[in-house]
Structure 1
Amino acid sequence: MTESVIKIAGLYKIFGPNPKKVLPMIAEGLSKDEILVKTGHTVGLKDINLEIKKGEIFVIMGLSGSGKSTLIRHFNRLIDPTEGQIVVDDTDIMEFGVEQLQEFRRHKMSMVFQRFGLFPHKKVIDNVAYGLEVQHIDKAKRLQKASDWIETVGLKGYEEQYPSQLSGGQQQRVGLARALCTDAEILLMDEAFSALDPLIRSEMQDQLIELQETLHKTIIFITHDLDEALRLGDRIAILKDGELVQQGTPDEILLEPADAYVEAFVKDVNRARALTVETVMQRPAMRITSATIEGALAQMKKSSHDYGYHVTKDGFQGIITEKELESAVSLDTSGEIQSDIYEDVPTISPESAIEDVLTDTISSDYSLPVVDSEGNLKGSLQKESVAEIFSDKPNLDDEKEEDKEKETNS
């Protein structure tokens, strides 16, 4: 089981001159708006509990005012909570003094800002090397390391340019290189791509995914864009008015929204594009493991299925029908199974988007075999499972009303 790097427990943040007096009101059930009217205090975060695993991209999303940027600033204590625990690598960072906190920010966590946060008077290479300069790394070493990261993010040749000479996408690449240059284990990205044009934004998402495949950083990514969250996140937490309303994998968020608020978020998402084959595939109904015609037919006869997936020590071989096996036996062509007996059915990857295999799924007479890069049969994709993705599920508010009505009538 992957270890948790960050643990947040019972986290509250109330903005105002006397936040402690507001906590009992929250416990009594008063809403954010009611507390604002009564006290002039703003509830920024309410009882946040979550764990972030080592090496994952954890996305925190919500609309403006939901508390997502407030939350991410608690991870490195740019904001201190009114109440609650923040544990990083089994250390309660609320116990840090000023010097410990400075060291923690310099070495443990780096941050990429929405508006780039670059020094306009410093060249690209000096901006990227800045974190190492603060760490008092030798100039030659820090410039060499900065140069390497500049190349990694695709800006080789721009070392001597100033931020004003770069496009928005290039400036954000500089910001990303600067954050990575310190070798911090945890990367905080607050709406890092939201100021970019859609095409550049997509390119930056691609680059982050590509970098993560080799770096395996722990990344906390803030966004208000669900498509971005689904594309980047290993897991997603959704905030509303300072409360955590749901957290889970992208598939769980899409297919099992916790309430009407989340349901409204996901209703317009192209599920066929967002979900992968692995999400909805089933176990193969019938595996044929015999190497001979007679053995395969005997296996088939013992089941209720009229076709099966032939698997040997070398992996998946093809789909065989009972009809073809019986034909082979009647023609006295028994013996080892040959490739010409297999049905002409394409294999699909578990990582493929449903959208990419939709035509093959619909046009096939069989559930498509899902085969990984090593040739192993991982499952089968059924038409019925794909159809469920597009079916409209009952509105959660409607379900609650029905339940109330049943209770009233009972």
Structure 2
Amino acid sequence: MSPQADRGSVRIENVSIIFGDNTAESLALADAGKSRSEIQEITGDVLGVHDCTVDINEGEILVLMGLSGSGKSTLLRAVNRLNPISRGTLTVNCGDETFDVGECDDKLLKQLRMDTVSMVFQQFGLLPWRSVADNVGFGLEISGVPKKERDQRVTEQLELVGLSDWADRMVAELSGGMQQRVGLARAFATGAPILLMDEPFSALDPLIRSRLQDELLELQARLGKTIVFVSHDLDEAMKLGNRIAIMEGGRIIQCGTPREIVNSPTNDYVADFVAHMNPIAMLTARDVMAQGKPDNTRGQLPLSASVTPDTPLSDVMDALSKRDGTIGVIDKGVVTGSITSSDIVRGLTQHRR
């Protein structure tokens, strides 16, 4: 498979994972609504995930979000069968190829892991005795890619992540953020259309972490990978995810866009999750504006500036900071709403109600 030759998608359908020797009994207890601790007490087994269903579409970032022990990493590692599938179906599609992951023999599983699904770990997994370039090309090397092609692809990926000048340095000479970029370059170098990222930035300090999040979004805009990203940080999930699947006790509690989850939490668990998050990154003018044409009842006229409904809230706030007053929201040449500082405050706090 040539690099970036195809797009990939994943379908997870009613997948359960049990660690232990009493799978049938443990699944029956999970189906009956028993908790992870209850199942472990009765059978000695550990419920990894239970009855999880979600589609990951071509070119999107799906974030698996939850507290420690919620099952998010367990589900992620089922995609390339680092964790076994006890029940259900997990299908990976790439071009004309379809992998039923749970049924793959050793040959197909190796093909899946080499060509279709690549992984970035939290602890980087770099080889300290190798140079940066040799680390990036390691997956290609064990796949048998000829050296000339391997060197070309390594050069392209190092340029992509801004590490061309560090190609011959040892990885121990790099900062944590730069090492994580080496991990990204290694994953991208294989050309695999599906990327699994297991809390890749959680060990980094906040400034580097935010920078790498921005860089990942920039790379994604250029490459269009299908990414499954595990995080326990809601702000990170809201920033990166096209959709977010919130997990608790091995189960997917809610899956939707950041806006859907913030505006319509499915239960108290999700509501508590979003109560203290910073919604600025996901809100637009449409989310906070007062509907209808501006008038003088709120002292709205004249307008100090105008935006479109899809203008990011951060840009609206910037406009108001420069010129106090009322922002007009214009859609297709017609003023359809208005925004004052009070509207912004209400929009930023409405998810806490």
Segments of 5+ residues of structure 1 without an aligned counterpart are 287-304, 308-320, 322-342, 396-410
Larger Rg: 1
Q: 1:119 aligns with which of 127, 133, 136?
A: 127
Does the aligned pair in 2 maintain the 1:4–1:51 contact within 8 Å? Answer: no
Letter in 2 for 1:78: L
> Cα offset for 1:87?
1.1
Give the whole-Å Cα distance in 1 for the aligned partners of 2:295 and 2:177. 55
Other-structure match for 2:328? 368
Other-structure match for 2:15? 11
Other-structure match for 2:245? 237
Deviation per CA, 1:193-244: give whole Å up to 9, x if none. Answer: 1111111111100100111111111111101000100010000001011011
C-alpha spacing 1:137/1:234, structure 2 compared with 1 (3 Å): same
**Residue 80 of structure 1 pairs with residue 39 of structure 2:** no
> Cα offset for 1:360?
2.9
Q: TM-score, normalised by structure 2?
A: 0.87
Between the aligned residues of both structures, percent identity stands at 41
**Residue 103 of structure 1 pairs with residue 111 of structure 2:** yes
Q: 1:165 aligns with which of 158, 173, 176?
A: 173
> Cα offset for 1:56?
0.5
Q: 2:72 aligns with which of 52, 68, 72?
A: 68
Alignment RMSD (CA, Å): 2.6
Does the aligned pair in 1 maintain the 2:8–2:226 contact within 8 Å? Answer: no
Does the aligned pair in 2 maintain the 1:8–1:87 contact within 8 Å? Answer: yes
> Cα offset for 1:18?
2.0
Does the aligned pair in 1 maintain the 2:238–2:281 contact within 8 Å? Answer: no
Q: 2:189 aligns with which of 178, 181, 184?
A: 181
**Residue 52 of structure 1 pairs with residue 10 of structure 2:** no
Matched residue pairs, number? 336
Other-structure match for 2:267? 259
Question: Relative contact order: is structure 1 or structure 2 higher (C-alpha 8 Å, sep ≥ 6)?
Answer: 2
Deviation per CA, 1:132-173: give whole Å up to 9, x if none. Answer: 112211102211210121111011111111111111111100
Other-structure match for 1:224? 232
**Residue 20 of structure 1 pairs with residue 24 of structure 2:** yes
Q: TM-score, normalised by structure 1?
A: 0.75
Does the aligned pair in 2 maintain the 1:108–1:185 contact within 8 Å? Answer: yes
> Cα offset for 1:376?
6.2
**Residue 348 of structure 1 pairs with residue 307 of structure 2:** yes
Other-structure match for 1:380? 337
Segments of 5+ residues of structure 2 without an aligned counterpart are 1-6
Does the aligned pair in 1 maintain the 2:8–2:194 contact within 8 Å? Answer: no
Other-structure match for 2:4? none
Letter in 2 for 1:7: R
Other-structure match for 1:389? 347
Give the whole-Å Cα distance in 1 for the aligned partners of 2:194 and 2:336. 35
Give the whole-Å Cα distance in 2 for the aligned partners of 1:103 and 1:230. 33
Does the aligned pair in 2 maintain the 1:8–1:50 contact within 8 Å? Answer: yes
**Residue 248 of structure 1 pairs with residue 208 of structure 2:** no
> Cα offset for 1:273?
4.5
Letter in 2 for 1:360: L
